[in-house]
Amino acid sequence: MLKKFLFSTVIAGLLNACVTSPTGRNQLIFMPDNQIDQMGLQAFDDLKKTKPISGNASFNKVVNCVAHSLTQQIGGQWEVLVFDDPSFNAFALPGYKIGVHTGLLKLIDNPSQLASVIGHEIGHVLAKHSNERMSQETAMNAGMSVLQASGGLGATSLGLLGMGAQYGVLLPFSRTHESEADLIGLDLMAKAGFDPTQSIALWQKMERASQNAQQPIEFMSTHPAHATRIQNLQQHMANALQLQQQANASGLRPNCTP
């Protein structure tokens, strides 16, 4: 009886949590949005306390210009900061927060390449990927608890299933998140008037920069291989160019030079 009750409870929760992402992909999301937003706000506050904020006027000018141009397309009061960090990184968090590292700003060639990165990071927020990842992990833990309560798995088998679940469920979703954020960001930057072809130029630069670093094979990575990422962007480029032409025709021509 307990086994049936636990199983029915988990299945009912999963069925009621199915939603659709901005690209039309089915998602499992059931965590409260305000809880995820609060986690984003707390994470950003912690970063501001522990990571130095850049005072470089040129960096701040271009980042705020690009971020403002992008967020105008989606609304919300976004806080944008440049962090003094040499890594090629940027991020957006639930709760309307954006951070860009100075290392990335030294790598890019133009504002459109920066728009590609920030648009990608905003894409994660728009698609609620943080909520989806937490919901997946919560559902997986609940499923493990059901199996343990029912006596269906011994400790050794449970450990093996956990490894299979990690590489068979969670990591592929993470790669899916990255690919989906690429496409959402591509459309977003184009709608804001930036040159979407620069997204490919950016990832080609990233590929060259990572050649001297050890990169995990795609199956074991939470990020698509650079070649896969570039191919996906190329397949959607015609539509993005149309969006850019429409944006430019309506007067959206971001001038985000430092």
Chain segment 148-197, per-residue pLDDT in tens: 455 544 444 434 444 444 444 455 558 888 899 999 999 999 999 999 99
Chain segment 38-96, per-residue pLDDT in tens: 988 999 999 999 999 999 999 999 999 999 999 999 999 999 999 999 988 999 999 99
Amino acid, res. 154: G
Chain segment 97-115, per-residue pLDDT in tens: 999 999 999 999 999 999 9
- The whole-number pLDDT of residue 80 equals 98
**235 membership: H or E segment, kind and range:** helix 226-235
| Strand ranges in the chain using DSSP code E only, listed in sequence order | 18-20, 26-28, 79-83, 90-93, 97-101
For the whole model, what pTM was predicted? Answer: 0.82
Please name the residues in contact with 106: beta carbons below 8 A apart, sequence gap of 6 or more: none
Q: What are phi and psi of 108, to 5 degrees?
A: -70, 160
Provide mean pLDDT across the span 197-225.
75
Whose CA is closest to 192, among 125, 114, 102? 114
Q: What are phi and psi of 56, to 5 degrees?
A: -65, 115
Can you say whether the dihedral through the CA atoms of 39, 222, 103, 236 is positive or negative?
negative
Residue 180 appears among annotated catalytic residues: no
Distance, CA of 244 to CA of 188 (rounded, Å):
9
- The whole-number pLDDT of residue 258 equals 76
Please name the residues in contact with 251: beta carbons below 8 A apart, sequence gap of 6 or more: none
Cβ atoms of 177 and 133 within 8 Å: the answer is yes
Q: Catalytic residue, from 79, 121, 132, 207: name it.
A: 121
- The whole-number pLDDT of residue 167 equals 45
DSSP 170: I
